C-alpha cells in the first residue's frame, strides 16, 4: 500500500516533483526548488523513512515508485516532470518505466539503472552507535562518525538529519534500521530489461563523479531511448549543490525546450 509523503510546495506553472537521495530530505533541495519556482509548480518530497515522511519496514524501489505515482495522482499533477537524485533518481526511473502515463519528462541526477557498491552500511552503523543523548553536542556526534565517514562534507550532510529533542540531545530523522535492512535493494536496480520509457529524459552527472560513466550509457539507453546526457564541470555527486548555477541552467534548458 502506498505511503503518503511529506512535501514542500513552491511556485506555480507546470508541475515538477523533486526526489532527494539517500540520507537526504526535501529541505536539501529548497534553494533549487525556490529558483525553479519562478517557472514551475515545484513539489520537493521526502522519501519514506526520510525527513518528515512516514516510516515503514520496507522501502523497495517498487514501493517507492508506487508512493510517487500515488502522490502525483492525489495532487492531480499528471503528467508531471519528475527530477530525482541518487536513490530518488532510481525511484524516478522506475516510476517512469512502470507508470509512464504520470510523467511528462524525467530528470535523473548522478545515478544510473545499475547496481553500485558503497560503504553506506558502515555509515549507518556509526550513526546507530553514536551517542545522541542529553548533554551531547553536534560536534561530539561529528567526531563519533569520523572513523567510518572520514570525509567532512559527507559527515556534514549526514548530520543535517539530526533534530534536537526537547528533553535534550538529538534524534535522527531517518529510519536507520529500515534503511540498513533494505540496503542491498537500494544499491541495486530492479530487473527492467523488458520495460522502456519513451518520453524525454535528461541524465545529469558531476564531472568528478563516476556514478554515470560511458559504461552506463547502454543500460540507460536500453530503458530510456530518448535520454540526453549532461556533465556539470567542477562537481561530484551533488551538482545541484556544488555548481547550482550550471545545474539550474542545464535543467531549465531541457525543461524549456518542451514548451518552446
For strands 162-164 and 170-172, give the pairing: antiparallel
Pick the catalytic residue: 50, 85, 237, 240? 237
216 in catalytic set: no
86 in catalytic set: yes
Pick the catalytic residue: 140, 177, 233, 256? 177
For CA atoms 68, 213, 30, 36, the dihedral sign is negative
Pick the catalytic residue: 86, 205, 209, 235? 86
Planar angle of CA 34, 53, 22, nearest 5 degrees = 75
Q: State the residue for C-alpha cell 569520523.
A: 146
C-beta neighbour count of 230 within 10 angstroms: 18
Q: Where are the beta strands (DSSP E) in 30-174?
A: 41-45, 80-85, 103-109, 162-164, 170-172
85 in catalytic set: no
Planar angle of CA 85, 124, 110, nearest 5 degrees = 15
Active-site residues, by number, are 86, 177, 237
Amino acid at each position: 500500500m502506498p505511503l503518503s509523503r511529506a512535501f514542500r510546495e513552491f511556485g506555480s506553472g507546470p508541475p515538477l516533483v523533486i526526489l532527494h537521495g539517500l540520507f537526504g530530505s526535501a529541505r536539501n533541495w529548497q534553494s533549487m526548488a525556490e529558483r525553479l519556482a519562478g517557472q514551475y509548480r515545484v513539489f520537493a518530497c521526502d522519501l519514506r523513512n526520510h525527513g518528515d515522511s512516514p516510516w515503514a519496514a520496507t522501502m523497495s524501489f517498487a514501493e517507492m515508485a508506487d508512493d510517487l505515482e500515488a502522490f502525483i495522482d492525489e495532487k492531480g499533477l499528471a503528467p508531471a516532470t519528475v527530477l530525482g537524485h541518487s536513490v530518488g533518481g532510481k525511484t524516478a526511473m522506475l516510476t517512469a518505466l512502470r507508470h509512464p502515463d504520470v510523467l511528462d519528462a524525467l530528470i535523473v541526477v548522478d545515478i544510473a539503472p545499475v547496481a553500485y557498491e558503497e560503504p553506506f552500511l558502515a555509515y549507518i552503523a556509526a550513526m546507530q552507535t553514536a551517542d545522541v543523548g542529553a548533554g551531547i553536542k553536534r560536534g561530539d556526534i561529528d567526531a563519533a562518525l569520523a572513523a567510518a565517514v572520514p570525509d567532512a562534507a559527507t559527515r556534514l550532510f549526514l548530520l543535517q538529519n539530526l533534530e534536537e529533542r526537547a528533553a535534550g540531545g538529538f534524534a535522527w530523522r531517518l529510519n536507520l534500521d529500515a534503511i540498513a535492512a533494505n540496503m542491498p535493494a537500494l544499491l541495486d536496480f530492479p530487473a527492467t530489461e523488458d520495460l522502456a520509457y519513451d518520453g524525454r529524459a535528461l541524465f545529469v552527472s558531476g564531472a568528478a563523479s563516476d556514478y554515470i560513466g560511458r559504461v552506463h550509457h547502454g543500460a540507460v539507453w536500453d530503458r530510456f531511448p530518448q535520454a540526453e546526457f549532461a556533465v556539470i564541470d567542477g562537481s561530484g555527486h551533488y551538482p545541484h549543490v556544488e555548481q547550482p548555477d550550471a545545474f539550474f541552467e542545464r535543467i531549465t534548458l531541457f525543461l524549456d525546450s518542451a514548451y518552446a
